[in-house]
Structures are given as structure tokens and as C-alpha cells.
Amino acid sequence: MSTMLTDPKKLKNAKIAIYAASIAIPVVVAILFGVKVEGVDLTFLPKFYATINGVTAVYLIMALIAIKRKNQMAHRRYIRLSLLLSLLFLVCYVAYHMTSDPTHYGGSNPGLYYFLLISHIILSIAVVPLVLFTYLFAWQGNFEKHKRWTRFAWPLWFYVAVTGVVVYLMIAPYYSFS
């Protein structure tokens, strides 16, 4: 059992860290989008981080199946892998955009593309505190609250992972290095 369950100060600090991360991540990403690093070729990253999103979606499904089968160890492992992959995605995504010119969508259905892109971006911001608090509740052993929050966190996280792949597939033909 975690000491977070019995130590109110550690619980408060964890909540503050979640709030801070939920604010800092989008702010830092926005700031870093304004930074341009020349002479570094990271053009391989979009395909890589789209794959990361796809694997994250698969792990989220596997986590759901594991918990439905009451296999908490497998569930925990898949969720932790999903968290790590989401963090790796974020690092790769920012690195690519700091080193590459923007790519403009040139397809025949810009309405669908921009709907998916904008909803993906907005929900990727919203999913950070939802997922982190949901994880915290499980870590505390507060499985009732964990389960209630999961009803919102899991589908949003899954949507963000899947739309990341779809957005990549829609814009991939328009990358200048394709």
C-alpha cells in the first residue's frame, strides 16, 4: 500500500504536481513551438510518434481487457507503458516541431482534418489532469474514485491516441520530405 494513502502532505504534494504539470505541459509546448533549431534533421519523427500513438491505443485496449479479466498486474503494466509512451510521444512531437517547418494539409476534406486535429489538441491538454488524477486514485487504493474517473479519462485518452494516428495518416502525403 502506498504511503500516499496515509500521508496527507504527500497526497497534497502529488495533487499540486498534477495541477502544475497540467498547466506547465501546454504552456511549455506552446513556448517551444516558437523555438526554431536549425540544422537538425528529425524528419523521421512524425512516422515514429504516430506509431507511438498507435501502440498507446493498443496498450489502452489491452489495459481495459486486463482489468475486465481482473488482472490488475497486467492492467497496471499496460497503463504504465501507455503513460511512458505518451510522454515519449510528447518529447518527439515537440522536438520535430522545433526543427521542422510546419506542414499544411492539402487534402480534399479539410473540415474533417481540422476537426480531428483541433479536437485532438484540445483533448490532449484536457487528458493530462484526467489521466494523472485517475492514476493517483488507483495508486492510493481509491478504486471507486479511480473507476469513476476512468469513465472519462480512458475514452478521451484513447481518442487522443487514435486521432494522433489518423491526423498523421491524413497529413503524411503533404510532408515536404515524403
- Model pLDDT for residues 71-96, shown as the tens digit of each residue: 999 999 999 999 999 999 999 999 99
Is 36-174 a CATH 1.20.120.80 domain? yes
* Domain boundaries along the sequence of the chain: 36-174
**153 CB contacts (<8 Å, ≥6 apart)?**
127, 130, 131, 133, 134
State pLDDT tens for residues 24-41.
999 999 999 999 999 999
**Measured distance CA(39)–CA(61) in Å, rounded:** 39
pLDDT for 176 equals 80
